[in-house]
Structure 1
Amino acid sequence: MINIKGDATLVGISELRTHSEEILAESKKHKVLIGKRNKPVAVLIDIDRYSKMEETLELLEDFALGFLAKEREEGSKDSNYIDIKEALRKVKKK
């Protein structure tokens, strides 16, 4: 294992095969980069950290979509919309 950037460790694929328990324990502390010929090809992180990252990404996505919706609403006029009956007619034609 090679420590890099203070919060990450580079581990070769063959080392992962032979020291999996030790490397999994290491992944609970910080990122483990899995390397092939000393080049990172994957990242191993603790499941709790991954879950938090997923939650954060979902919140950011919701925020961005909400911002876009508000921006569109503020820039639109009633003439940009069609009646629900007209929309249903258009859908049925297709």
Structure 2
Amino acid sequence: MTVLNVVQLLTFVASVGLFAFAAIAPREANPTKRARRTRLYLGASMIALAAFMATLALDSTGWSSYVKGVAAACFLVVGLMRITQSRKP
């Protein structure tokens, strides 16, 4: 198992774990805080998914690596937008 495979495994587990945490953890009584915390964890999950897609793009060759790279960039942008939305008062 190469270092790249280990990084792929860790980023995938992180993205799935953060997504599950976003669905389960925010048990706030205040609906505004709950929505804000959910957006924060979903944004972090998207960024971890972007890292996973980037490692997949590094591991492949040909046109599929470009598609995976674009998907990683899109996940990164969406994740950053989610985190920015969670920080708005």
Q: Which category of TM-score, normalised to the shorter sequence, fits these structures?
A: 0.3 to 0.5
**Structure 1 length as normaliser, TM-score?**
0.35
Q: Hey, which of these two has a bigger chunk of helix by percent?
A: 2
**Structure 2 length as normaliser, TM-score?**
0.37
Q: Hey, which of these two has a bigger chunk of strand by percent?
A: 1
Between 1 and 2, higher relative CO (CA 8 Å, sep ≥ 6) is seen in 2
